[in-house]
Amino acid sequence: MTDITVGYHNDRLVAVKESDDAARSARLRHEADLLSRLDHPGVVRLVDFTEGPPAVLRTVFVGPDTWLRHAPVGEFQAPTLAALIATVADLHETGIAHGALEAAHILVGEKHRPTLCGLGDGNTACDTDITDDRRALAALIDQLGTDDALLAQARADLEDPSVSLRAVVRRLDMQSSAPVSTNRRFSRLPPAVEPRQFALPVIAIAVALFLVAGALRLTGGDGFVTATIPPPPTAPPTTTAAPVPPPSPSAPAPDAPTIDHAGRRYAVGEAGDVVVLGD
């Protein structure tokens, strides 16, 4: 089992996995390699990896809870599943299969957003691995223990290879209403501006130029007039926001198993790859 702790690294709260075991060290190295190729809000972010012994993998700390103890409930189930399935679809399109989709490897991020960890079993996304990921997603729906018709349809779609993961996501998105921070990326290009939005500024500029030209044609006693052009408006001074201290980690649930390490208490998950911080 990999030792898991939480601490600070370069003033950043990080989850730390480390192991002296050769096989586990190889899995950590493999996970670090996969994470180095990913930049996705639905997957934990790599901080660094150091060879051992012990091998140490650091990722950005997401939160203290996983679906093992805090699975989505009620109206949040459908949109949260949509966000999770969208992340898995993105991984597959990148050429990666997770390989171990289970509740212990789904961290509960900000605004209920699911964040995947535990990619030590990840590999190239061949048809068999993609099918395994889809079946694992269907099993996660079973574990939610719900009789919701929408989720039942999503489960059936996941078992049908002719239905794409994107189609499953669209159906869940269209029929669910709870606000969940999804994992989808948005274009960084600004939205197109309608032509009529330029109409008033263009007219105002044209009128101003006409008045200036007319003023310059006026003559005084000496045949000339001096036009005073006001300086352009200056932008308001920018202020630098005060640095925000790292958030205080939440305490573990009362029923969470704990370990003592270096004078601090940590809650741990059942599968060994769960990162949960205690007091």
Q: What is the pLDDT of residues 85-127, one digit of tens each?
A: 999 999 999 999 999 999 999 999 888 899 999 999 999 889 9
Angle of helix 149-159 versus helix 127-144 axis, rounded to 10:
160
CA nearest 91: which of 139, 140, 42?
A: 42
- Mean pLDDT of all residues in 35-62: 92
Distance from C-alpha of 63 to C-alpha of 31, rounded to nearest angstrom = 19
Distance from C-alpha of 90 to C-alpha of 97, rounded to nearest angstrom = 10
**Hey, CA dihedral for 98, 102, 106, 112, is it positive or negative?**
positive
Which fold, 74-175?
A: Transferase(Phosphotransferase); domain 1 (1.10.510)
In the chain the beta strands, taken as DSSP E runs, fall at 3-9, 12-19, 46-50, 55-60, 96-97, 106-108, 114-116, 123-124, 258-261, 264-268, 275-277
Who's near 45: CB < 8 A, 6+ residues apart? 35, 39, 59, 60
The CATH number assigned to the domain with range 3-60 reads 3.30.200.20
Distance from C-alpha of 254 to C-alpha of 7, rounded to nearest angstrom = 21
What is the per-residue pLDDT for 7? 83
Distance from C-alpha of 140 to C-alpha of 117, rounded to nearest angstrom = 15
Domain map (residue ranges) of the chain: 3-60, 74-175
Compute the residue count for the chain: 279
What is the per-residue pLDDT for 45? 95
Q: Judge whether residue 159 has pLDDT over 90.
A: yes
What is the per-residue pLDDT for 88? 97
Distance from C-alpha of 241 to C-alpha of 71, rounded to nearest angstrom = 36
Range list of H helices, 95-148: 127-144
pLDDT in tens, 214-270: 544 444 444 443 333 344 445 455 444 444 444 444 545 555 555 554 455 555 543
Joined tokens for residue 195:
């032509």
pLDDT in tens, 51-68: 878 899 999 999 888 999
What is the per-residue pLDDT for 265? 56
What is the per-residue pLDDT for 8? 84
Distance from C-alpha of 6 to C-alpha of 13, rounded to nearest angstrom = 7
Give the residue, 36 or 199, on which the prediction is more confident.
Answer: 36
- Residue 166, Cβ neighbours under 10 Å: how many? 13
Pairing of strands 275-277, 123-124: unpaired
Who's near 270: CB < 8 A, 6+ residues apart? 68, 104, 257
Distance from C-alpha of 162 to C-alpha of 180, rounded to nearest angstrom = 27
